[in-house]
């Protein structure tokens, strides 16, 4: 089963940790996020991801249910699917990482559960300097995004109990292999969203390339009930973002873009303008763009 007419899901990573000093269009407050999400909807997006931020300092508050709920309400009212990030503080047990997600489901109708597959190290690399960056900051952190198998299995069971659809994150090739295993074990019965992150400055997984994308796809058996989305991440190269997006479109996949994902690649573009680029690439590939209703029907959401 696929989306009607081979339609393309366009997801947007609105802000992540990007500051307005990098791109003046990055949304910070809940009101900013909601307004920007609706502009992206009008441009062709159907799925929105964002990080809760503090207005004055732009600090990320990744478990703040109130901040997320303030944006999620208008996003849902605007006909979009949206979902939050999660905190990774070293003193927070993985089992409690998604407490705000379950609370948002009950309080604000959150429908997508962000569950990332596999643990990965934080390796910030600047290819222009040929050196690591942020080493002093890393001394105060765990340096690992910790997603152990038990956390993943338990989160899937919780999401199933709430009739939420998982949106998986695969930061390395092995993470896509884990999705196949979870499906074979009966813990994933689809349909699900699966994001393939191909990252430049966060040096995890293979270097971004079409071959790297294909390595991920080789881990996903053809009978998996999954819609996969390429995420060019932490990239400084707009040409590589376009190359990966077009490769995904040619292979039947979907695309995520956004200021948050790669703020320096297009430092003057708005999120809606980045969505418009993907719409044009989809037209070149002969594929229509999915509406949120299309995506809801595909995922079995009422």
Strand 47-50 to 81-84 pairing: parallel
Q: What does the pLDDT read at residue 20?
A: 93
Please give the Cα distance from 176 to 141 (Å, whole number): 26
Average pLDDT over residues 231-259: 98
Give the model's confidence band at 3: pLDDT under 50 very low, under 70 low, under 90 confident, else very high: confident
pLDDT, position 270: 98
What pairing do the DSSP bridges indicate for beta strands 144-145 and 120-121? antiparallel
Stretch 282-294: mean pLDDT? 98
Per-residue pLDDT of 114-123, as tens digits, reads 999 998 888 8
| Token reading at 195 | 């994001």
Residue span of the structural domain in which 73 resides: 4-299
Per-residue pLDDT reduced to its tens digit, 15-40: 999 999 999 999 999 999 999 999 99
Give the lowest-confidence range in 111-115, 137-141, 295-299: 137-141
Structural domain count, the chain = 1
Contacts 24+ apart (CB under 8 A), 35-39: 36/270, 36/271, 36/272, 37/12, 37/71, 37/74, 37/75, 37/78, 37/80, 37/82, 38/74, 38/75, 38/78, 38/80, 39/270, 39/271, 39/272
**Stated pTM of the model:** 0.96
Backbone angles phi, psi at 199, to 5 degrees: -115, 140
pLDDT in tens, 50-89: 999 999 999 999 999 999 999 999 999 999 999 999 998 8
The string of pLDDT tens digits covering residues 261-279 is 999 999 999 999 999 999 9
Query: Which pLDDT score, from 0 to 100, does residue 145 have?
Result: 85
Task: Indicate which CATH number applies to the domain containing 154.
Answer: 3.20.20.70
**Mean predicted confidence (pLDDT) in 119-129:** 86
Check whether the bond before 191 is cis (ω within 30° of 0): yes
By three-state DSSP, how is residue 100 classified?
Answer: helix
Six token digits for residue 270: 């708005």
Looking at residue 123, what is its pLDDT?
83
Sign of the CA dihedral with 56 first, then 61, 64, and 68 last: positive
**Taking a C-beta distance cutoff of 8 angstroms, is the pair 289, 7 a contact?**
yes
Residue 2 has a pLDDT of 66
Q: Is the pLDDT of residue 96 over 60?
A: yes
Cα distance between the two ends of the chain: 18
Of 66-80, 214-228, 239-253, the poorest mean pLDDT is in 214-228
pLDDT tens digits along 164-174: 999 999 999 99
Structure tokens at 118: 């596999």
CA–CA separation, 105 and 99 (whole Å) = 10
Q: Tell me phi and psi for residue 282, to 5 degrees.
A: -65, -40
Confidence of residue 189 (pLDDT cuts 50, 70, 90): confident
pLDDT value at 1 more than 80? no
How far apart CA 114 and CA 121 sit, in angstroms, is 19
Q: Which residues neighbour 264 within 8 Å (Cβ) at sequence distance 6 or greater?
A: 22, 236
Is residue 287 pLDDT above 70, yes or no? yes
């Amino acid at each position: 089963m696929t989306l009607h007419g081979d339609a393309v899901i366009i997801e947007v990573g609105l802000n992540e940790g990007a500051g307005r000093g990098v791109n003046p269009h990055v949304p910070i407050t809940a009101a900013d996020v909601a307004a920007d999400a609706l502009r992206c909807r009008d441009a062709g997006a159907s799925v929105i991801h964002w990080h809760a931020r503090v207005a004055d300092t732009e600090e990320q508050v990744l478990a703040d249910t109130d901040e997320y709920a303030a944006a999620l309400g208008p996003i849902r009212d605007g006909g979009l699917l949206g979902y939050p990030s999660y905190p990774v503080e070293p003193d927070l047990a993985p089992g409690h990482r998604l407490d705000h997600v379950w609370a948002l489901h009950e309080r604000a109708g959150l429908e997508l559960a962000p569950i990332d597959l596999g643990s990965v190290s934080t390796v910030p690399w600047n290819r222009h300097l040929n050196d690591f960056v942020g080493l002093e900051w890393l001394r105060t952190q765990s340096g690992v995004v910790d997603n152990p198998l038990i956390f993943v299995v338990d989160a899937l069971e919780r999401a199933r109990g709430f009739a939420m659809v998982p949106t998986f994150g695969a930061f390395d090739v092995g993470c896509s292999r884990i999705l196949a295993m979870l499906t074979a074990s009966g813990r994933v019965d689809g349909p699900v969203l699966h994001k393939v992150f191909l990252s430049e400055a966060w040096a995890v997984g293979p270097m971004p390339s079409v071959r790297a994308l294909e390595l991920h796809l080789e881990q996903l058996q053809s009978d998996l009930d999954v819609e996969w989305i390429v995420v060019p991440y932490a990239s400084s190269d707009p040409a590589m973002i376009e190359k990966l997006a077009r490769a995904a479109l040619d292979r039947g996949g979907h695309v995520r873009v956004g200021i948050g994902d790669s703020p320096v690649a297009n430092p003057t573009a708005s999120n809606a303008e980045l969505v418009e680029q993907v719409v044009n690439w989809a037209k070149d590939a002969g594929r229509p763009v999915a509406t949120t209703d299309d995506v809801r029907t595909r995922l079995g959401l009422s």
